[in-house]
Structure 1
Amino acid sequence: MSDTLELPWPVPDRRFRHWVDQFADMHDLVRDLTIPQGLPEAAERVLTTARELIRMSYYRYEFMMIGAGTSIIAIETALKDRYGRGTLASYLRRARNDGVLTEEQYDLLDSTGRPLRNKYAHGDLTHAVLTPPMAVAIVRTSFTILAELHTAPGPGQ
């Protein structure tokens, strides 16, 4: 037996075989997930992590769900900064009513993103079902909303 604790090279997750053929294809999957200019450094780090988790989900499918959940938490934090105390559901409603979210963005975040965030926050992520296109759509929406929140004046400004 070896005295080292080296891990083996990552092995592609079989569940990704329906979406891409090789890791290099993951670059195409996330290519348009570019970090908006001018975001605060903390938001930029969270969004970069979310994007890279989706890219690395080629090796562990659950990373995709964690990446999408991470981007939702970034939105929740930004909305809390904007609106004060509340819940993710109430923040999403207020952002939709204020025109920060389109109806389509609201529907995606409320019907898919919020339940995913809840599973992530409560340790039940293994039961979440999310396809790569859905995960990319959630993270893309998070990028768009965080860029909008960063440039849009808050309520009463």
Structure 2
Amino acid sequence: MSDTPELPWPVPDERFRHWASHFADMHDLVRDLVIPCRLPQAAESVLNTARELIRMSYYRYEFMMIGAATSVIAIEAALTDRYGKGTLASHLGKARADQLLTEEQYDLLDSCGRPIRNRYAHGDLTHAVLTPPLAIGMVRTSITVLAKLHATVHPGTAAASE
């Protein structure tokens, strides 16, 4: 017999009862979060992780916030590649000015995504309030923005110099 106690099987998080009665319902919630195949492998991996965290939030509600934060971190990395050093707030402003973000995308990422990313980075997700539709909307926005960023040629790339 092992001295290490077995971890219990996951049980549904009671906070999710209004959104899904069975884990299978989570497939329907995230079904349209399709990751484009033209993204770089790292971005694809991060977005798949974000989607799966939202799906698994059926068992642990905080996974939803971590999934949303993860998708925003992917955008932050792509914007840093594009604009260089700076804050997420300044990069979002530049992307909006360059028309890489719609006003709606900017508002969602700046007013909701950035604070969640900050809470995640500082280990303070316990009081973050996020509904599944908002988290899914944030990941959907991240997918759309990353697809646009990776499809857009910007100064300094090989394609721009040809």
Please indicate, yes or no, whether the TM-score normalized by the shorter chain is above 0.5.
yes
Name the residue aligned to 1:21: 21
> How far apart, CA to CA, are the structure 1 residues paired with 2:36 and 2:145?
10
Cα distance in 1 between the residues matched to 2:145 and 2:94: 13
Q: Deviations over 1:26-67 (max 9, x none)?
A: 000000001112111111110000000000000000000000
How far did 1:4 drift?
A: 5.1
- The residue aligned with 1:85 is 85
Structure 2 counterpart of 1:115 = 115
Offset of 1:137 from its aligned partner? 0.3
Residue 41 of structure 1 corresponds to 41
Residue matched to 1:62 = 62
Percent identity (aligned): 76
State the distance in 2 between where 1:17 and 1:146 align: 32
What SS does the aligned partner of 2:72 have? helix
Q: Could you state the TM-score of these two structures normalised by the residue count of structure 2? A: 0.93
Aligned equivalents of 2:50, 2:100: Cα separation in 1: 21
RMSD: 1.4
Shift in Å, 1:2: 6.2
Aligned partners of 1:44, 1:113: CA distance in 2, in Å?
A: 19
**Shift >3 Å, 4+ stretches:** 1-5
User: Structure 2: which 5+ residue stretches go unaligned?
Assistant: none
Partner of 1:151: 151
Separation in structure 2 between the aligned mates of residue 28 and residue 113 of structure 1, nearest angstrom: 23
Structure 1 position 155, deviation (Å): 4.8
User: CA offsets per residue over residues 6-37 of structure 1, 9 Å max, x none?
Assistant: 22211000000011111000000000001112
Aligned to 1:8: 8
CA distance in 2, matches of 1:16, 1:2: 34
* Partner Cα separation in structure 2 for residue 75 and residue 119 of structure 1: 16
Q: Secondary structure at the match of 1:125?
A: coil
Equivalent pairs, count: 157
- The offset of 1:154, in angstroms, is 1.6
1:3, CA displacement in angstroms?
4.3
Q: CA deviation at 1:151?
A: 0.3
